Structure 1
Amino acid sequence: MSPVTGSMVIYLLSGWLGSRFPGVDFMSHDNGHLLEVMFGWRGNPHWGPFHLLSTVLIFAGFWLLSAAWRVLYHAQRRHELATAGPYARIRHPQYVGFVIIMFGFLLQWPTLLTLLMFPILVWIYSRLALHEEADMLAQFGERYQSYRQHTPAFIPGKGQTQHH
């Protein structure tokens, strides 16, 4: 989301925001960080709790994405199933990484468009994961079925069974 688009959304909501938060200039860059303003945190929003959490989430998402792609790249070159690194804990770390990054940006600069698009993109990634699972089952058969039974799709530890 560009600052220009965010500013347009703020402009369209300026009447409602102005009545709810009198004395706040929502057209200034700092006040474009709506969560800090709405919770009453004054000062530089780039050091506010939402912005700091956002930064941590964005870096964590990129780290997960990078770690997953490295494992996936090497597994694909060997025509093997990716089960190491992040894939040892969840089946779709690349999609989880994307969602973490998107959520981080949503915290940093929430707009109507990002609020609308976030659940749509999460749904799209979940659908991609289902299609990917069908492909992996066709390619790796029983080995993927066993991996799927022992490794949760998106949340580590959720529904995970013990290896026997």
Structure 2
Amino acid sequence: MSVALIGKVVWVLGIVAWYAIRYPSERRARRTRVVSDRRSTTEAVGLSAALLGLAFVPGFYVATGKPEAADYTAHLWAVILGAILFCMAMWVFRRTHKTLGRNWSISLQIREKHELISHGPYALVRHPMYTSFLLMALGQAFLLANWVVGLAGVIGFAVLFFLRVDKEERMMLEIFGPEYRAYMDRTKRIIPYIY
């Protein structure tokens, strides 16, 4: 098995793990009443960009090998690093879903009896879900030896993050007020102690 193929297999396994983690939360969310919905066209664009960059573009590449003109030589060290990053992403992703419980939502929504979560991964960063997507994007760039696919993940993450995080924080400030402001003062956004 070639190094490039190992990277593709690891990426596919990571995406299967991602869906296996996400699915129970999606099912539970359908049963919990939404009391405030802030979905918008901008949010839909961000979610679509992330899905395109982190799933569709790499999935097409894994299935077809295109665009092959953007391929470069796959190295074992890069695939190992990509696998580590992807595993870290899935660990953070799972912890985030587990910690959020019934508060989880794919979009900007407040659920009935919504609580401010500040423990688990939320003790280190305000948006660990975005942390997991950043780790996924970086892992993808190392796992799949193709410039277009590597950039697609990073760009998809960046579009989602920059279109959505400010709105998400404004919504949390409206709902939780000074409690969220104090939480913002003691945590970083997505990278512990840095940003």
TM-score, shorter chain, exceeding 0.5: yes
Structure 2 counterpart of 1:158, one-letter code = I
Percent identical pairs in the alignment equals: 24
Q: Unpaired segments of 5 or more residues in structure 2?
A: 1-57, 104-110
Match status 1:3 vs 2:62: yes
Q: Deviations over 1:73-119 (max 9, x none)?
A: 25567521010000000011001101101211110113233233234
Q: Aligned partners of 2:95 and 2:167: how far apart in 1?
A: 22
Task: Judge conservation of contact 2:137–2:154 (CA < 8 Å) in 1.
Answer: no
Equivalent position SS for 1:80? coil
Match of 2:95 in 1: 67
Q: Unpaired segments of 5 or more residues in structure 1?
A: 14-31, 37-47, 160-164
Match status 1:104 vs 2:143: no
For residue 168 of structure 2, the aligned residue among 132, 138, 147 is 132
Equivalent position SS for 2:166? helix
Structure 1's 54 and 146: CA in aligned 2 closer, same or farther, altered over 3 A? same
Q: Deviations over 1:11-45 (max 9, x none)?
A: x35xxxxxxxxxxxxxxxxxx66242xxxxxxxxx
Task: Judge conservation of contact 1:103–1:118 (CA < 8 Å) in 2.
Answer: yes
Q: Aligned-pair RMSD on alpha carbons? A: 2.2
Aligned residue runs from structure 1 range 9-158, under 5 A: 9-10=67-68, 12=69, 34-36=73-75, 48-74=76-102, 78-127=113-162, 128-158=164-194
Task: Judge conservation of contact 1:90–1:153 (CA < 8 Å) in 2.
Answer: yes
- Taking structure 1 as the reference length, the TM-score comes to 0.68
Structure 1's 33 and 67: CA in aligned 2 closer, same or farther, altered over 3 A? farther
Structure 1's 3 and 158: CA in aligned 2 closer, same or farther, altered over 3 A? closer
- Taking structure 2 as the reference length, the TM-score comes to 0.58
Pairwise CA distance, 1:154: 1.3
Q: Aligned partners of 2:170 and 2:187: how far apart in 1?
A: 16
Structure 1's 54 and 77: CA in aligned 2 closer, same or farther, altered over 3 A? farther
Pairwise CA distance, 1:145: 0.6
Q: After TM superposition, what 4+ stretches of structure 1 lie above 6 angstroms from structure 2?
A: none
Q: Aligned partners of 1:102 and 1:119: how far apart in 2?
A: 5
User: How many equivalent residue pairs?
Assistant: 128
Highest relative contact order (Cα 8 Å, sep 6+), 1 or 2?
2
Structure 1's 91 and 97: CA in aligned 2 closer, same or farther, altered over 3 A? same
Equivalent position SS for 2:150? helix
Task: Judge conservation of contact 1:33–1:108 (CA < 8 Å) in 2.
Answer: no
